[in-house]
Structure formats: C-alpha cells, structure tokens
Amino acid sequence: MYEIHISHNKPSIIKSGNYMKILIVEDEYTSRMIIKSSLEKYGTCSIKANGTDTLKTIREAYQKNEPFDLICMDINLPDINGLKLVEKIRTIEINKDIPVEKQTKIFIITGHANKDAIKEASELKCNEFIVKPISEQKLKECIEKHGIMKSPAK
C-alpha cells in the first residue's frame, strides 16, 4: 500500500505497509508540525485539527480494517474536549469487540495538565499523558514503552 503526501507543494510517495499508521489531532499549527516531524520517521502521519474530522477518519479507518496504531491528541480542540473524543474512540473500539491490548494507543499531549484531566485520561485508558513542550526523545520513549515502534522509514 502506498500513500501520497503533499509536503512543501511536492508530492511524495511513502510505502506504509511496514510502518505505523499515526493520527495527530492538534488544532495549533506549530504543535502539529513539531509532533509530525518527530513521528514521521516511524510511519505515515495524518493530521486533523478538530474532533469531528477525527471521528470521521477513525470510523473510515476501522471500516477499511486499517486502524491507527497511534493517536497523539491535544485536549483543547475547537469543537470537542480531547478527553471526550478519547471516550468516543474507545466506545467505537469496544463496540467492535477490540480487546484492550489491540486498541489504538492514545497519547494525550497538552499544555494544560491538571489532576482531574490526568485522572480522566487514565480512566479512559489513554496510554500516555504528555505535557508540552514535547520532544522527539519523549515521543520515542513512549512509543518504545508501549511496544508499537515498527521499523523506521528509510
């Protein structure tokens, strides 16, 4: 399988069959680009800036039997709280009888950490709660910790 990506107005084709399928959900441009540049060596990155588009993309991925390996998501999205979005994603997975160990790994990445948000993320089975600023090394450590790292793209 191949996917075409437009980067700096130049299309590029990336073989994605052996690499992670990653969804970045972030409404702030700079944060999106930092996360994308840190993760694109591990797989194909798709980017969404709101919850509505994210849910549509996730449903389509499951319909095609091509779920995401990793979702990195901000809490403060323009149309829905990121934790409510996680709840909806987990509900989709439960309704599809996907066992917990095979569910998409979800990393919350936010600049606004508080005890209530951390507790809620844990209850929703988020795999990581990362406070901005984010680093490539931190993302790599989290990916390795959850055993989802696949061969880096060449």
Q: How confident is the model at residue 69 (pLDDT cuts 50, 70, 90)?
A: very high
**Is residue 77 over pLDDT 90?**
yes
Q: How confident is the model at residue 3 (pLDDT cuts 50, 70, 90)?
A: very low
Q: Does the domain at residues 2-145 carry the CATH identifier 3.40.50.2300?
A: yes
Average pLDDT, the chain: 86
Q: Which residue has the higher pLDDT, 73 or 148?
A: 73
Residue 147 has phi, psi (to 5 degrees) of 65, 30
Summarised one tens digit per residue, pLDDT across range 88-138 is: 999 999 999 999 999 999 999 998 889 999 999 999 999 999 999 999 999
Report domain extents, the chain.
2-145
One-letter amino acid for residue 133 of the chain? P
Give the lowest-confidence range in 62-71, 74-83, 121-130, 143-152.
Answer: 143-152
Q: What angle do CA 129, 134, 152 make, to 5 degrees?
A: 95
Task: Give me 99's structure tokens.
Answer: 């066992």
Task: Decide if 77 contacts 106 (C-beta within 8 A).
Answer: no
